[in-house]
Amino acid sequence: MKAKAFSPAGISSFFSAQLWDLNGELLKDPNLIGSRGGGIVIKKGVITELEVLPSQKNSTINVFINDKLTPNAYTTKTAIELVLKEVKQAYDIIIRHQIEVPMSAGYGTSGAGALSSVMALNDALELELSKYEVGKIAHIAEVKCQTGLGSVSGILNGGIVLILIPGVEGLFNIERIPMDPNFSGKVVTALVSPIKTRGVIKSYEKLRKINEYGEISLKLIRENPTIENFFKSCKDFAINSGLMSVLIKKMTDVAVENGALGATQNMIGDALHAIVEPDLVTDVVKALGNYVNKEAIIVSDIDLNGPILL
């Protein structure tokens, strides 16, 4: 049995994390752990081919990323394991991810990989899981593997999205930044270097500051939900929270100077994303090429559909 699915990448632009309860105790229920915040979903992402073979023993899961066997693809494996726990039959699962964006750089690849894998397995085994159930499984896998907090919510919904409730309750409790139906802006992203998410989200003191500015940004964006204000507020968040590097700040400035409507840092990654009118894309890409290799720059449309079967 085979199935194929695509999940767009979800670039995180700002966030406030819910990892502790009101008493300062670390939350243990992955359904409650998550984030509020926002980001932008793009049409480049993760294409997943999945093959299911009946097994006489315990289930095995092998994951290939860009044609390379990847034993540490923990988020995808965890998501599939969560599904198989509810299935009586043992299976050998082969998953092949083709990832079109950088990993460990705030593009939501772990969430996209988990979503597309569960969607494909759901199709292959005819499990009839709802879109919410698929998203819940992917979210829990991300939380357990400490690879993300809210990217699944954004990816499921598409567009320039605001996540209002942390955890699985917020999977579809979102708002979108309104866009003119004729708006044809492109997302331009540029990678400097990856950052491991788990290295940031374990720090209570750092997160307290991040959360303060994340909530301020969410409030300001909801009061004035325009593309320009979204990117301005996200950039202010990145600067005030202490997450934005000197180089990324310079690059976001350069992107705007060359025509971008706005630019900010990926969360959490040493990378940026900007929104650019089509006729100015070449200028912005050329300007960013003075700071990173051309191969590190990606141009994509905004995705409005979320994950789909192929």
CA distance 103 to 20: 27
- 67 in the same domain as 117: yes
- 131 in the same domain as 22: yes
Q: Which of 176, 210, 239 is the last residue of a domain?
A: 176
Tokens 């400035």 belong to residue:
253
Cis peptide before 140 (omega within 30 of 0): no
- 108 in the same domain as 9: yes
- Domain harbouring 250, CATH code: 3.30.70.890
Q: What pLDDT is stored for residue 20 in this prediction?
A: 80
- 159 in the same domain as 208: no
Amino acid in the structure at residue 50: L
Q: What pLDDT is stored for residue 117 in this prediction?
A: 98
- 108 in the same domain as 231: no
The closest alpha carbon to 248, from 234, 233, 263, belongs to 263
Tokens 């650019």 belong to residue:
276
Contact assessment for residue 1 and residue 124, using Cβ atoms and an 8 Å cutoff: yes
pTM of the model: 0.94
- 232 in the same domain as 127: no
The residues facing 39 across adjacent strands are: 12, 161
Determine the structural domain holding residue 38 and report its residue range.
2-176
Contact assessment for residue 123 and residue 57, using Cβ atoms and an 8 Å cutoff: no
Q: What pLDDT is stored for residue 198 in this prediction?
A: 56
The closest alpha carbon to 14, from 155, 249, 210, 185, belongs to 210
Give, for all 310 residues of the chain, the pLDDT tens digit: 999 999 999 999 999 998 887 777 888 999 999 999 999 999 999 999 999 998 888 889 999 999 999 999 999 999 999 999 999 889 999 999 999 999 988 999 999 999 999 999 999 999 999 999 999 999 999 999 989 898 999 999 999 999 999 999 999 999 999 999 889 999 999 999 876 655 555 566 778 889 999 999 999 999 999 999 999 999 999 999 999 999 999 999 999 999 999 999 999 889 999 999 999 999 999 999 999 999 999 999 999 999 999 9
- 124 in the same domain as 98: yes
Q: How many domains does the chain have?
A: 2
Domain-embedded: residue 308: no
CA dihedral 28, 29, 30, 34 (to 10 degrees): -80
CA distance 302 to 234: 17
Q: What pLDDT is stored for residue 199 in this prediction?
A: 55
Q: Which of 176, 206, 225 is the last residue of a domain?
A: 176
DSSP annotation of 27 reads P
CA distance 236 to 172: 26
- 29 in the same domain as 122: yes
- 166 in the same domain as 223: no
- 127 in the same domain as 37: yes
Q: What pLDDT is stored for residue 41 in this prediction?
A: 98
Contact assessment for residue 97 and residue 110, using Cβ atoms and an 8 Å cutoff: no
Tokens 């999977």 belong to residue:
171
- 216 in the same domain as 152: no
Domain-embedded: residue 305: no
Q: What pLDDT is stored for residue 31 in this prediction?
A: 94
Amino acid in the structure at residue 47: I
Domain-embedded: residue 272: yes
- 147 in the same domain as 9: yes
Domain-embedded: residue 148: yes
The closest alpha carbon to 266, from 131, 109, 130, belongs to 109
Q: Which of 146, 176, 206 is the last residue of a domain?
A: 176
Q: How far apart are the first and last CA of the chain?
A: 14
The closest alpha carbon to 148, from 176, 123, 112, belongs to 112
Q: What pLDDT is stored for residue 194 in this prediction?
A: 77
The closest alpha carbon to 212, from 237, 245, 229, belongs to 237
